[in-house]
Amino acid sequence: MSDPANWTLVEAAAAVAAKKISSVELTQTAIARAKAWQPKINAFIALGADEALAAAKRADATPAKGKLHGVPLAHKDMYYRKGRVASCGSAIRRDWKADTTATVLRRLDAAGAIDLGTLNMAEFAFGPTGHNYHHGHCRNPWNQAHMTGGSSSGSGASVAARIVYAALGSDTGGSIRMPSFCNGLVGIKPTWGRVSKAGAMPLSWSMDTVGPLTRSVADAARILGIIAGADPEDTTASAVPVEDYEAACGKSVAGMRLGLPQGYFDQNIDGQVAASIEAAAKVFEKLGVKLVPVKMPDLDAINAAGTMITGAEAASAHRAWLAEMPAKYSDQVRARLSTGLAIPAVAYLDALRNRAAAIPGFIADVFGQCDALLCPVSDRPVPTIAETDVGGGPAMGPLLAALTRLCRPFNVLGLPSLSVPCGFDKAGLPLGFQLAGRPFAEATLFALGAAYERETTWSRMAPQA
Amino acid sequence: MSFDPQSVAAAAKALGIALSQEQADAAAKSLAAPLAKIASFRVDFDVEPAHYAAALDKGRAR
């Protein structure tokens, strides 16, 4: 039997269901790995070893109740579980206990998942690098001098380090895709409204999305299939039927059209990143996918709308705390939230209206020509923690804008995007691409991503402890 | 749509939050370009923010 720590989530769930391994064994392995890796990568904020082992024993004593029966997961520390601390990566909520349980956690519980604890994250999910001045920086398991990406930093680090089989993140401007890119993982930022946000910490209500970081495309498909769908506790959760994402992973992609963006996504891209995208395109071509050059509309305008929307919504959510306890924020988060206070109401509303008006045109112009777009996630290879340690000073704005530039347009437009690993840079850090599609076209992205994965070995590679 | 540090500080102060000169300067600088972009938009009179979700639903593949 191969090392269970290196299984995918789908393989682990199948092994537990077939009683080839117990949930207790899987969970004990996960706990041991969490303890071994924690001093190096600081992925966990709170490890719930005793609770997880008790849950694993119950799982072993009962018939399999779902597709995640007995499989240990852990999640970004912003998903509320009744009676448990949800720090949101902050000092302000360091001891705050939730009085409700997030819909996504209830759905994972119902599928039989074991919850191993809460994971490190950027303070209030407002940062793309993985720095955290309250709980300690999260570090990349491939090289601890490098950043994990954020804001779902612990989600990326813990899944890459083969501690847990999947982790929920959240994505308001790239916060699932960037750590997926940095840690060599698959991450799905779903269509806005595809997954309930009830019981999830808000950053920017009209941009926030919930999704998993995983070791394979099929794993991401399984988790999304479980958590997606309408929710009476979140009126923004869409009633659009949830497709069979796992079945989509086995579909042929021959004849599909993959758009290669002309403009914006090919501007100011590092040579290693650009080469990895070109190589990925060739793999798709070999699979019978038709590559189509697609001219990009004015995405700088879309990004500007995103700055207004996230800035104003986040500042509104945090206004009372900013007035009462500004010193409890890190310099960077306080600076970014303070900026949002000054956004005029009319500018915010114009940004919202512009987004509503831009979506039909973008879909018609872009997805009239292709089934999905192939884009870089990041304009550069994974930087070091030191290189991106800019605090709230003058270097902050340009750096954060550059790091989120390629992800954010799909948040503003509400479109789904799947991040997939596609190689390594000269320093041995992972590289990846994103596939973006029409609203609610997650199944198409999974089909393309899984087909690519079958032709390559990147997803199977793991960092050494 | 012009923006200066004094406007930023005044907006924050009206909401009960005091910004330092340095914070106000940084906020004004970072907002200048996106605000200029917003000012260049011309959105149809009848478009509402809530049309966002409807646009996503209509944009699905059928």
ipTM: 0.93
Contact in structure between A116 and A74 (CB atoms under 8 Å): yes
Q: Which of residues 21-50 of B touch A (CB under 8 A)?
A: 23, 26-31, 33-35, 37-41, 43-44, 47-50
pLDDT at A245: 98
Dihedral sign for Cα atoms in the order B36, A318, A133, A47: negative
Residue of A307, A353, A415 for testing the chain B interface, max B β-carbons within 10 Å? A353
pLDDT tens digits, residue range A45-98?
Answer: 999 999 999 999 999 999 988 999 999 999 999 999 999 999 999 999 999 999
Q: Flag if A304 and B3 touch (Cβ within 8 Å).
A: no
**Number of domain units in chain B:** 1
Position B1 scores a pLDDT of 47
Q: Which residues of A touch B30 (CB under 8 A)?
A: 339, 397
* A to B CB pairs, distance under 8 Å: 138
Which one has a higher pLDDT value, B62 or B52?
B52
Our answer to whether residue A175 is catalytic in this structure is yes
The pLDDT averaged over each successive group of 10 residues in chain A (465 residues) is 93 97 98 98 98 98 94 98 98 98 98 98 98 98 98 98 98 98 98 98 97 98 98 97 98 98 97 98 98 96 95 97 96 94 94 94 97 98 96 88 96 98 98 98 98 97 93
B55 part of contact set with chain A, CB < 8 Å: yes
User: If you measure CA to CA, which chain B residue comes closest to A370?
Assistant: B61
Q: Which domain holds residue B23?
A: 5-58
Distance CA A110, CA B4 (A): 53
A23 a catalytic residue: no
Q: Does domain A8-460 sit in CATH 3.90.1300.10?
A: yes
Backbone phi and psi for residue A419, each to the nearest 5 degrees, phi listed first: -95, 135
Check if the beta carbon of residue A346 is closer than 8 Å to that of residue A339.
no
Residue B8 with chain A: CB contacts under 8 Å: 339, 341-342
Q: For this structure, is A76 an active site residue?
A: yes
State the best of A331, A343, A404 to mutate against chain B, taking most chain B CBs within 10 Å.
A343
- On the question of pLDDT at B3 being above 80, the answer is no
The pLDDT, as a whole number, for residue B2 is 55
Q: What is the mean pLDDT of chain B?
A: 87
A403-453 pLDDT, tens digit per residue, is 999 999 999 999 999 999 999 999 999 999 999 999 999 999 999 999 999
Q: What token pair was written down for A357?
A: 């008006």
State yes or no: pLDDT of B62 exceeds 80: no
pLDDT at B42: 87
Contacts 24+ apart (CB under 8 A), A459-462: A459/A184, A459/A186, A459/A215, A459/A216, A459/A217, A459/A420, A459/A421, A461/A184, A461/A421, A461/A424, A462/A6, A462/A160, A462/A161, A462/A162
Q: What's the CA angle centered on A66, arms A63 and A70, to 5 degrees?
A: 70
Give B-chain residues touching A311 at CB under 8 angstroms. Answer: 31
**Chain A residues within 8 A of B38 when measuring between CB atoms:** 304-305, 308, 347, 350-351, 354
Task: Supply the pLDDT for residue A172.
Answer: 98
Residues of B in contact with A344 (CB under 8 A): 1, 11, 35
- From the candidates A316, A359, A438, which should be mutated to test the interface with B, based on the most B CB atoms within 10 A? A359
Domain residue ranges of chain A, discontinuous segments joined by +: 8-460
Q: Does B59 touch chain A if contact means CB atoms closer than 8 Å?
A: yes
End-to-end CA distance of chain B: 41
Q: Which of A362, A359, A403 is nearest to A174 (CA)?
A: A403
Closest residue to B60, CB basis, from A341, A351, A439: A439
Q: Look at A397 and B51 and tell me if their CB atoms are within 8 Å.
A: no
Q: What is the pLDDT of residues A187-220, one digit of tens each?
A: 999 999 999 999 999 999 999 999 999 999 999 9
